[in-house]
Structures are given as structure tokens and as C-alpha cells.
Structure 1
Amino acid sequence: MKLSRKPGMPHPRLPLPKGQQEDLAVFQQWLGEAIPMVGALGISEMVREGDALTWQLALEPNLNDKGTGFGGALTAQTTLQGWCWVTLWLREQGLARDVVVAEASQRFLAPVADNYRLICTPLEPAGLAQLANMLAERDKGRIALTHQLYCGETLCLEASGSYAVLPQR
């Protein structure tokens, strides 16, 4: 049975993984329930390796009128991926916190003409340590992330975003 939500009604949080590795298939299923548009974005796989979160995506649900990737869908994917990156990192730390995008920008370099992969990493190598320090000192923090979208070996889009971890309620 699907939950019916109204605006302003938060979706229940996914339980923390409690000392075990996050099951990304379970996280992706929860994500689709929490944010209904996720099911339409064509995410076929999520993989975490080191500081990188990589998604494999299908082009078909993201087509524009020219038969290539729709910029609005690609932008939504980068924003959501950054939110997921921070949320998954927090969950790894045993923290259930609210995350919001504070700033985002994109640069379109080439048309996306086939299925593609999107890779998200911290913009700065020290970004994670800085975020951890801010959370410890001020109970809130920010991290800058970068995204690269590849269609085959062609870099089609570069994006960046700043994501804020809000204070505990």
C-alpha cells in the first residue's frame, strides 16, 4: 500500500544501517518512495567506491525534443545525487540529519545521446574532514561536491553544488 502524503508531511526516515554497510538497493527503493519523481529519472544502479557515488542512468526517460538528454532532468539528477551523497555519508556516521542543496550550477559540454553515468565526489580533498569538524563544533555544516556526467568516454556535463547539513531538531 502506497502512502499518501500531502505537502508539508515528511516521509518516514529509513532506519540507520547500525554498523553495517548501507544496502544501496534498499536506499534507492526508499528514495523512490520519499521523493516520487525518482522513479522517473532512470537510475538503474548506485555504487559507492571510496569518496565517489556513481549512478548508471537510462537516457530514454530523460529525453528532450531533440532525442538527447533533457537539461532539466540532468540538473535534477545532479542535485539529487549530491543530496544522496551527503545523506549516505551521514548515515555511515550513524547520523539521521536533514540535508538541503544550498547552491548548484551546471555546465553542459556535449549532448547526452545514450545511457550514461554520473559521478559525484567532494570538490576538495579536505571537504569531508571540514564537514565533520563543522558538525562537531556547530551541529551544522556544508560541503561542496562535484558531478561529472559521461556518455561513453565523453564528458557531457560538469556540475557543482553546495549541500548543507541542518542542525538537529
Structure 2
Amino acid sequence: MNEDLLRDTERFLHEQIPLTRAMGVCVESYDDSQLVLTAPLEPNHNHLGTAFGGSLSALTTLAGYAMLWLQLGDRNAHIVIRESTLRYKRPVQGTLRAVCPRPDVASMTAFRAAFEATGKAHLKLQVQVIHAEQVCMLFEGDFVALR
């Protein structure tokens, strides 16, 4: 994907959500299939030396938020999370890596139509935290875009 778009997205996250700077969040990649955000373990670890659950929660929420922001393409829209579910499966002992699959075409078409018609739409997104080729955390969030 376009390197400028990755840097612009990262800059937007750092400007709008200051916690992302403290966490060291980076936009690693964005393509036809997924968005990947990363953060180093060092500023995001707990007392056991593994990833802090709150950092994992924040990173997965950010991945969904950024995916919807990129997909919507409306820089004046406000995106918020309405509801989320988290399942921690195993500890993360290195870089935090959140992978958000791109929503399917039918879901995005319905989302955009609702947003255009009413100025409000919601979309459920899933995000996985992957470490050492294993799923360590599962996130599902219901995001809302408002005009």
C-alpha cells in the first residue's frame, strides 16, 4: 500500500489519540485484505514481562477504529466504539501485533449507504493479536461513525 497513506494514518492516530504515541503504535501495513498495527512490548508490558491486557485492548480497538477510518474515507466523520468483547488466549511475549481483516464488500456497502442516508452507521469488526504465529487475543467491536 501507499507509504504516504500509512504515515498519514499513523500521524492521525498520534494527533487524535495521544495514548498511541506513548504506546509506540505503528501502522505496519494496509492492503486489500487487512490492516496491521504494532506496538513494542517495552512500554506496554505488565509485571510479568508480557503484554499488559489494557495495551492489547487499546491496540485492538485502535486497529478497528483505523480500519473503519480508512474504509470510510470521510475525514470529518467521528468514529467511536459502542461495544466490544475481548478474549485473552495466551500471553504476548514480544511485539504487540493487531490484525484487522478488511470488512467484506456487502457489509461496507450497507454501512456506507446507512451513513450517507442518516449520518450514522455501525459496523462490527474483528481483530486478532498474533504473536509467534499464534492467536493470543480475539477482539470484536461494534464501531459507529457519525457525521
**1:22/1:126 CA distance change after superposition, 3 Å:** farther
Structure 1, unpaired ranges of 5+? 1-19
Aligned position for 2:136 = 156
Rg bigger for which structure? 1
Superposition deviation, residue 21 in structure 1: 8.6
Contact 1:45 1:57 survives alignment (8 Å): no
Give the length in aligned residue pairs.
146
**1:72/1:116 CA distance change after superposition, 3 Å:** closer
Aligned position for 1:63 = 45
Normalised by the length of structure 1, the TM-score is 0.77
Higher relative contact order (CA 8 A, sep 6+): 2
TM-superposition CA deviations, 1:95-118 (whole Å, max 9, x none): 521111000110000000111321
Structure ranking higher in strand proportion: 2
1:90 aligns with 2:72: yes
How large is the RMSD of aligned CA atoms in angstroms?
Answer: 2.1
Contact 1:42 1:59 survives alignment (8 Å): no
Q: Equivalent of 1:31, from 4, 7, 13?
A: 13
Superposition deviation, residue 87 in structure 1: 1.2
Give the letter for the 2:48 counterpart. Answer: K
Q: Separation in 2 of the partners of 1:23 and 1:62?
A: 26
Structure 2, unpaired ranges of 5+? none
Superposition deviation, residue 123 in structure 1: 6.3
Contact 1:135 1:141 survives alignment (8 Å): yes
1:120 aligns with 2:100: yes
Q: Separation in 1 of the partners of 2:104 and 2:8?
A: 29
Contact 1:106 1:158 survives alignment (8 Å): yes
Superposition pairs of residues 96-107 of structure 1, within 5 angstroms: 96-107=76-87
Aligned position for 1:48 = 30
Aligned position for 2:115 = 135
Normalised by the length of structure 2, the TM-score is 0.88
Structure ranking higher in helix proportion: 2
Aligned position for 1:73 = 55
Superposition deviation, residue 135 in structure 1: 1.5
